[in-house]
């Protein structure tokens, strides 16, 4: 089983890129972030024509997450992260697909830090910690997949000394990510590539793609039952170089059936 995550940075504007990649890569499950489209503008018919059913949680202009399943329809179990009924951001969706509970998330950026956006990021992380512990307690196969907006280690960032005060790399968010892993989750890509510098995002500015000045922001956290099935995982870096591509590249893992 092949599971992928892809921050599309605007699903309708990047739809040709997404469809081209789906046709080539053929993932079984895909988590998408930054749809930047309300629910009624989600391209359900185009994705169905490509062979994918979908569950989505959209938002006009910002945020938005979706789960795609090849040849199936995801069974929606949750829209929105719990513990804050006033949170209006579309950043979490959850569905059952092929015997796995998939949580697709888009964690807040948090910049500028300090400030209100930074505080919101930390609160969101706290809510994620609490809910992730509940998911682990279910003792079912679970994957928390998406754009975490965190570089967990210095291996995950080009020139880490330039990012020490950024909300993506400040000690508080790295500690929050590591505390999440310590609940019992496995960081799949780092597990497979323990000593390799791996990037999933390259900014549009300062020729970041050409210089390979990237960041690893997109992660798979696997429950113990899924971690045992982990086989391989890679970044489809070439997609970042396609015309009109997102600033993220798709990332994928394969699990034994």
* Catalytic center residues: 106, 147
Query: Nearest CA to 142 among 202, 89, 97, 87?
Result: 97
Segment 49-73 mean pLDDT: 97
Q: Which residues lie below 8 Å from residue 57, measured CB to CB, with a gap of 6+? A: 39, 64, 65, 66, 79, 80, 90, 92, 93
Q: pLDDT tens, 162-209?
A: 999 999 999 999 999 999 999 999 999 999 999 999 999 999 999 999
| Residue range(s) defining the domain that contains residue 130 | 2-255
Q: Is 81 in contact with 103 (CB distance < 8 Å)?
A: no
CATH at residue 185: 3.60.10.10
Cβ atoms of 1 and 29 within 8 Å: the answer is yes
pLDDT tens for residues 221-250?
Answer: 999 999 999 999 999 999 999 999 999 999
**What integer pLDDT is reported at residue 57 of this predicted model?**
98
Tally of structural domains, the chain: 1
Please state whether the predicted TM-score (pTM) of the whole model is above 0.85. yes
Q: Which residues contact 112 (CB under 8 A, 6 or more apart)?
A: 118, 167
- Return the pLDDT at 172: 98
> What pLDDT, in 10s, does the model give residues 102-149?
999 999 999 999 999 999 999 999 999 999 999 999 989 999 999 999
pLDDT tens by residue, 23-37: 999 999 999 999 999
Report whether 50 contacts 25 (CB < 8 A).
no
Output the pLDDT for position 100.
98
Reduced to 3 states (helix: H, G, I; strand: E, B; else coil), residue 182 is coil
């Amino acid at each position: 089983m092949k599971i992928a995550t892809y921050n599309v940075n605007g699903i309708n504007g990047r739809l040709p890129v997404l469809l081209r990649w789906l046709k080539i890569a053929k993932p079984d499950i895909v988590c998408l972030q930054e749809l930047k489209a309300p629910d009624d503008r989600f391209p359900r018919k185009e994705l169905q024509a490509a062979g994918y059913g979908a569950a989505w949680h959209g938002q006009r202009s910002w945020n938005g997450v979706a789960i795609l399943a090849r040849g199936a329809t995801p069974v929606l179990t949750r829209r929105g992260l719990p513990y804050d009924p006033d949170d209006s951001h579309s950043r979490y969706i959850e569905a059952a697909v092929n015997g796995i509970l998939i949580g697709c998330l888009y964690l807040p950026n948090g910049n500028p830090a300090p400030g209100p956006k930074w505080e919101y990021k930390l609160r969101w992380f706290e809510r994620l910690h609490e809910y992730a512990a509940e998911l682990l307690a279910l003792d079912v196969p679970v994957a928390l997949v998406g754009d975490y907006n965190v570089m967990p280690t210095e291996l995950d960032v080009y020139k880490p000394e330039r990012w020490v005060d950024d909300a993506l790399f400040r000690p508080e968010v790295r500690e929050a990510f590591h505390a999440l892993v310590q609940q019992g989750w496995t960081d799949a890509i780092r597990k497979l590539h323990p000593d390799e510098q791996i990037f999933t995002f390259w900014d549009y500015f300062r020729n970041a793609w050409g210089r390979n000045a990237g960041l690893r922001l997109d992660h798979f956290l696997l429950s113990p039952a899924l971690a045992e099935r982990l086989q391989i995982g890679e970044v489809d870096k070439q997609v970042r170089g396609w015309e009109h591509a997102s600033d993220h590249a798709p990332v994928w893992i394969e699990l034994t059936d």
